[in-house]
Amino acid sequence: MISPAEADALIGLHLTCLPIESLPLVQCTSAVLRENIYAERDQPPFDRVAMDGIALSSAGFKRGSKRLKIQAMQVAGQAPLTLINPQHAIEIMTGAMLPRGCDAVVPIEQITLNNDPEYRHADIADSVRIAPYLNVHRRGSDTTQGTLLVNVGQRLGAPEIAIAASAGMARIRVSVQPRILVISTGNELIEPGEPIQAHEIRRSNTYGIVTSLRLHGFQRLADDHLPDSFETLKQRLRVHLDTHDVLVLSGGVSMGHLDLIPQALTALGVREVFHKVTQRPGKPMWFGIGPAGTAVFALPGNPVSTLVCLARYVIPSLYAAMGEESRKIEKIAIASAVEVKTALTSFIPVSIEVDNWGRAWAHPRMTNGSGDLTSLRSTHGIIELPPGPNTHPKGFVTTLYRW
């Protein structure tokens, strides 16, 4: 058996980077960027008004009256007006371009507007202190034209996609989404909604795997169910290996007479990279590479083991294959002591709660074994604890893998 760190390294060595495609921004949620994004213009691209109020000349105001004639109104998206003279002001809206001849904005809360049709004017309170570029977001103060805004390898969330839009990019180059097939195996599995016998169980792992993959942004998903038949497994897996980039199987990888997945995959030319990892739960995990480069993750069938291996290995590896350069390692402290009795790496389900001081804590939620799916309700992921025997105290900081 190999350690989780060794399993990570072997998966990384054997996965190939996915190709690139150009997509509209609205289709790039959670995609991995494969081109740099540069600023199209200075940001802001002009001296931008930051408050509703009046725009004026600060120098002229200091020499003149605190009552200014309102000569016009300028709104966002309008070409700049020109101040007639320092005794005038221009009513202005947030986001508008600073009018020519003006260099400061007095907020609406600090003036009194008189809407006399013969002489519309604004009175400015004596307490107001006006300086050049008061309440003005200066051109280029955020970034300048040509500045690198988002690096290759960044996973795209709302801020990054909005930045790409601000840079004038209607489409961006991203990694192609992998074609993922989720496969359950076992004669005992019955689809939800179908009649079930006392000796049968529901097909649930596939739904958990697909949901987790969707939550992490993977969209090209399909699923299948295969019986415990060597010939059927070979026949169907041969087709799936030819039509998908990634296979995620659950079940059939342990030591029973009907655990036929490794044997069937080997018969199809899938090269075993490793089988079994020194961890609990999820020790029987199998990983290999098909003749055409298809990555095959064969996970244990017990539901807790399935989701543990998915969160710990499959999802991080898929993002690495998409070119994500800086995998986010999330650290968290445990909220209570945890005893590890085994000499294997332990993965413990946790719920994350924030205390009165704003600190996040991982609260261990122990299961009744790797088949205890219901114990995972209201949990957010798993923590990884080093091999024991050992007791890890409250406050011990470790790695968190989210479902």
In tens, the pLDDT along 174-185 reads 999 999 999 999
- Which of residues 321, 343, 364 is at a domain's end? 321
The pLDDT value given to residue 77: 96
- Which of residues 270, 292, 321 is at a domain's end? 321
CATH of the domain at 366: 2.40.340.10
Asked whether residue 267 falls in the same domain as residue 304, the answer is: yes
Cα angle 328, 332, 336 (rounded to 5 degrees) comes to 160
CATH of the domain at 157: 3.90.105.10
Band of pLDDT at residue 131, cut at 50, 70 and 90 = very high
The pLDDT value given to residue 257: 84
How many whole angstroms separate alpha carbon 286 and alpha carbon 269?
Answer: 15
Per the structure, how many domains does the chain have?
Answer: 4
- Rounded to two decimals, the pTM is 0.86
Asked whether residue 264 falls in the same domain as residue 208, the answer is: yes
For 328, residues 6+ apart whose C-beta sits below 8 A from its C-beta are none
Mean per-residue pLDDT, 333-347: 96
The pLDDT value given to residue 73: 96
Domain-located, residue 182:
yes
Contact 49, 93 (CB under 8 A): yes
Q: Which residue range is the domain that position 108 belongs to?
A: 48-137
For 281, residues 6+ apart whose C-beta sits below 8 A from its C-beta are 300, 302, 304, 305, 308, 347, 369, 370
